[in-house]
Each structure stands twice: as structure tokens, then as C-alpha cells.
Homo-oligomer: A and B are copies of this chain.
Amino acid sequence: MPRIWSQTIAAHRDAVREAILDTTADLVAEHGLTGVTMSGIAKDAGIGRATLYKYFPDVESILRAWHERRIDRHLDRLHRLRDGTEGAMPRLEAVLTAYATAISHQGRHDSKIAADLHRGEHVAAAHQHLRDFVRDLVADAAAAGAVRRDAPADELAGYCLHALAAAADLQDPAAIQRLMRTTLTGLRGRP
């Protein structure tokens, strides 16, 4: 097979895969994790069921792929926020605010499917990545004198990420701002 043709096929496969995951995202938003089916995805993505099964063996594997893509995009966004913000403390605040907002939009999924998704290796790796990422930002802010020095940066990163996970119960943007303010007071320490 000529190289140009195999590249075309690969690009096509990627495009179909992305379309499947986009459709899954819409269906999850509309019906929740338990309301997604293979036939529903095939229909809304405008592909045949047989084609869909060539890409994914079952709905669980689609949800896993969708969830992993979502996590990766969140992490990318936090990295871009860091790179686009000047100053150690504004950078940390921008990243933590985006994290709290994402948690709030995600909400609570207490279903069995959600529990299965969150037990995956990809999630554990992403959590660790996020923890390390925030730890480095905290360490920079501490070096700049903007964060308390009586606890190690890694512990303070754990404090921030856990405290902001309370945003899962909050929808009101003002409530998320209050949570951010309270969490940052703890992080800064007394002047």
C-alpha cells in the first residue's frame, strides 16, 4: 500500500474514532453514563453498528476512551493556563480555579459505571500527574513568598486538590468563588 494511502486510512480512522467519542460525550451529557448504548452511539454518529464494533468491542470501552480523552483535555488545558499566566501565585490560582470549575461541571457520578471508570489506571496516572503539577506550582509560589512555608509543597497540593473537590456539590459560580477564597486563605497562611 502506498504511504500516502495508508496515511489517508489512518486519518480516516482517527476521524471516525473522534466522532464516536464526540457523540458519546453528547449522549452522556444528555442521558448520563447509564443512558449510553452501542445502537444510540451508532445512530447519532451516523455510522452502522457493524462499523462501530470494528472500533470498540462494547460500550464500556467507549466510555473508558471518552473518559480518558476528557481527562487528557482537562490536563492540557491546565498546562496551557500555566504557560499563559505570569507570576507564580496568579498561575497557581488560575490552575486551581479551572480545576474547581471542571470538578463542578463534572458533578457527582455515584453510579457503578462511574466507579469503574475512576478505578482505571489512566485515572490514577492522571491524578498523580495533577498532584505533581500542582505541587510544582505551589513550590514556586512558596519560593515567591505567596504560600505558607510550614508544610511541604506536596502536602499543600493534596490539601488544595481535596478541598476544591468540594466543588462537586456546587453549581453556583459564586459558591465556587467562595470555596476558592477559603481554600486560598488556608494555602497562604496568616501573613
Contact = CB atoms under 8 A, between A and B. Distances in A.
Name the prevailing secondary structure of the A interface residues: helix
Contact of A159 (B148, B156, B166): B166
B119 A115 contact: yes
Interface residues of A, number: 35
Interface in A154-168: 155-156, 158-159, 161-166
B185 A189 contact: yes
A110 interface: yes
Interface string A113-136: 001100100001000000000000
A163 B159 CA distance: 5
A187 interface: yes
Contacts of A162: 162-166
A190 interface: yes
Interface stretch (A44-52, A56-64, A67-75, A175-183): A175-183
A30 interface: no
Nearest to A189: B185
A186 interface: yes
B185 A159 contact: no
Contacts of A18: none
Given A112-B119, A119-B110, A179 B159 contact: yes
A182 B151 contact: yes
Contact of A158 (B115, B155, B156, B169): B169
Interface of A: 110, 112, 115-116, 119, 124, 148, 150-151, 155-156, 158-159, 161-166, 169-170, 175, 178-179, 181-191
